[in-house]
């Protein structure tokens, strides 16, 4: 797992350097997602695999969908709130969280770091089934037009409940939409 994380970070660093070497050609117009302040939404499919100690409930694997609605303050910083659904081996949890994304280079291929924090609500047992979580990692965003971009990111998710703690390596793929 350490090798996979190290290789992901190395790939992002090398790809960022390589992207900076490209130049805009007149016959290939430059594409970039709108960098003006305003509303932005990020919709992602995700999946994760438990690492170390997967014998407790909600610790082996999950997959799901999240939708984040937020505000882009400038070309670098996006803050939003999100929710969705996560299906685990033992049931369904509903994430309710805050998402922060910081972009490093703004171009057709943009590298960013994200951090999420919030709660997983268990609809069957809100009192003892609810868990807190944090999720962080690097990502790459590919601009398709001035309004739409596609993103992919690995991450490390840690969830803590009243009786258990679990860690996951997770992967997310989705679309970013900036309507104006």
pLDDT tens string 43-68: 999 999 999 777 788 889 999 999 99
Between 108 and 118, whose confidence is greater?
118
The answer to whether residue 31 sits within a structural domain is no
Is residue 24's pLDDT more than 50?
A: no
Number of domains in the chain: 1
The answer to whether residue 155 sits within a structural domain is yes
The pLDDT mean for the chain works out to 86
Output the domain CATH number for residue 111. 2.40.160.20
Residue 144's domain comprises: 2-23+36-177
Contact 151, 139 (CB under 8 A): yes
The answer to whether residue 30 sits within a structural domain is no
The answer to whether residue 9 sits within a structural domain is yes
Between 134 and 129, whose confidence is greater?
134
Between 140 and 162, whose confidence is greater?
140
The answer to whether residue 101 sits within a structural domain is yes
The answer to whether residue 158 sits within a structural domain is yes
Burial of 61 (0-12, 13-18, 19+ CB in 10 A): middle
- For residue 7, the model assigns a pLDDT of 63
If you average pLDDT over each of 26-30, 64-68, 161-165, which comes out highest?
64-68
The answer to whether residue 29 sits within a structural domain is no
**pTM above threshold 0.85:** no
Nearest to 96 by CA among 63, 73, 123: 123
């Amino acid at each position: 797992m350490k090798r996979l994380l190290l290789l992901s970070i190395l790939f992002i660093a090398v790809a960022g350097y390589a992207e900076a070497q490209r130049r805009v050609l007149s016959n290939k117009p430059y594409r970039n997602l709108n960098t003006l302040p305003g509303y932005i939404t990020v919709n992602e499919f995700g999946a994760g695999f438990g690492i170390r100690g997967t014998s407790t409930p909600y610790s082996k694997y999950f997959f799901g969908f999240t939708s984040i609605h937020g505000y882009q303050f400038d070309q670098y910083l996006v803050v939003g709130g999100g929710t969705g659904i996560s299906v685990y081996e033992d049931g369904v949890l509903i994430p309710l969280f805050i998402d922060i994304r910081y972009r490093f280079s703004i171009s057709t291929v943009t590298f960013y770091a994200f951090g999420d924090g919030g709660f997983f609500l268990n609809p069957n047992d809100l009192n003892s089934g609810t868990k807190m979580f944090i999720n962080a990692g690097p990502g790459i965003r590919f601009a398709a037009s001035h309004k739409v971009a596609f993103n992919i990111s690995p991450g490390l998710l840690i969830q803590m409940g009243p009786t258990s703690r679990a860690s996951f390596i997770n992967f997310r793929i989705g679309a970013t939409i900036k309507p104006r």
